[in-house]
Each structure stands twice: as C-alpha cells, then as structure tokens.
Copies of this chain bind each other. A is one copy, B any other.
C-alpha cells in the first residue's frame, strides 16, 4: 500500500502517517518523487484499511500495490530512480558506461588498463577481486590483494570502482573499496547477501540470475530496498536457453518490461550476455536503443592473455570505436554520453 501526500506536506502530518503505519505493525518507507511524496508500506498490509489513512491530514490518495514486489514497483514510485555517485548519475540523461577486465589479474594489469580507460574518459571501472567460478580449480581472483590494487586505481586515476561481493564475510572489505557493490547472477537469490549488502547503504548492481524471470529479479531487488536502500541498479546479462551460438541469450526484452513495472534503472552486460567479443558492439547498440540506462563492458588490454573470459573482451581500441557509435546513438533516445 502507498500513501500519497503532497511535497509540501508538513513534517508533522508525515510523521502522523508513519506512526499509524507502525502502530498497525507495518513498516513505513518515505519516498520523495518529483511532484509527490509517498509513504510506502510493507508488512502485513492486508490488515490495513484504506479509510484509516484517507482521513489523515495531507493525505491525497491511498493506493494498493498489486504486484508481489512493492517498493520496487512503479505503483509505489512513479518517477524513474536516479542514483547519484559523487558527480555521476545512473538512470539520468547521461548514460552509465562501466568498463574493465573480468578480473584483477595483477597490479600491473589493472593499473595499465585503468590508465587506458581513464584516457578514453571512462568514469567507472569494473574488475573482480573475488571471482565466483563453477569449478573450484579455476582462478578465483586475487581476493584481498585485488581489492588493494583497486584502491590504488581509485587513488591514482580517480576512477569509481564496481566490483563483485561474493559473500557476507568479505562484504565489509569490499564495501570499503567499491563505489558500487556488484551482486552476481549466481547470488541473485542469496537473500542473506542481498539483505546485508542493502544494509551498507552503498549502491548495488544486481545481476539477473541465469534462470530468473524479470519478476524474480524485481523481487530480489525488493530485498535490498526493504533495507531502505533505494540505490539499486538492475543488470540484464543473459539467460539460459537452448541456443548455443551465444554463451547466453541476452534478453533485451527485459528492458521495456522493467521500465514499465519498476522505477529502478536497468543496465546491460552484453559481454557475458553473448560471450563472444565480436557480437558485443551490435548488442550494446541494441541495449541503448531499447532504452537501457547504461552498459557494463569487458575491456582488456590483451584479451588473449586474460585469465578469465578473454574471449568476450574488447580491446581498448574496439571499445573506443563502440563508444563513438554509442555517442551518436544516445541523442536518438534522449540520452547522452559525455566522456
């Protein structure tokens, strides 16, 4: 249920609504939109009556949220969520472009690629210090050492860091370095991790699971928002189907579906989605044309030597060519890229 109030509602009236919600054993969530203020309510809302709230001062409307997800839904918050990270935004006019290697492989490797990306104008670098791998015998990342190198990247080049958090025990260490916490596909339904990541207050980039429906993805996001952390960026990265000519089936249909039912920004990871570098540019363009809010791209200075996922990485030169095309495309869909 959501209680709609005017932006000019006096603080006292707002508090009165929240108190009443609490009294009825539900949880109030204050959501400020561009033209309205809303009190989202979660918990056993089936016990609430619309009339109990309609009569309270400054209340304009009381709306039942019909979706299983609540805080995530557009019924709860009509305006697009725009997430600010220092001077950057996700979900605004400026497209979010994040690039970098699959994993931190060495101090030299990450500093070299960071330098190249910085020169190209990129603001966000992605690289995993902790890598989830199907096999226990595959390279699992440089772990704490990798985080150190990422901190050095931040200090030296001023890049913002997007990096994956694998479990709750390393969450504090990752949170210290990351500007955006990435939760991977395999952990999309690791609800404990979702809750604890939500509680850090950091922006969370939540990747869709390989067999998750869009509704599943939104329900997982709800776990984070329920911690009063609204800084969630959804990420489409391909689902599992019978098709084998691409690594996964990048499901761009998720973009208009998410945009309709949720206010959260959604970006696309075409590198994992198709798994072969030469299909990445076409699918990057398609993602932005479908109104995605940004891209997560694998870029490696020497893809042939990458310790993981080299086959799906662009070189910095290929990435720059793609960026130039994306800059041309952005205005057609009312966006821009000002790297």
Contact = CB atoms under 8 A, between A and B. Distances in A.
Contact of A290 (B214, B246, B282, B332): B282
A297 to B, nearest CB: 15
A323 interface: no
Nearest to A185: B189
A221 to B, nearest CB: 10
Nearest to A329: B332
A152 interface: no
A308 interface: no
Interface string A203-244: 000000111011110011011001000000000000111111
A136 B226 contact: yes
Interface residues of A, number: 71
User: Looking at A137, A250, A273, which has the most chain B CB atoms within 10 Å of its CB?
Assistant: A137
Nearest to A194: B136
Contact of A241 (B192, B241, B328): B241
Interface of A: 42-43, 68-70, 132-137, 166-169, 186-187, 189-193, 209-211, 213-216, 219-220, 222-223, 226, 239-246, 249-257, 259-260, 273-274, 278-279, 282-283, 285-291, 325, 328-329, 332-333
Given A252-B252, A253-B274, 14 more contacts: A133-B191, A134-B216, A135-B219, A135-B222, A166-B191, A167-B190, A167-B192, A168-B168, A209-B211, A239-B242, A242-B242, A243-B251, A249-B253, A256-B274
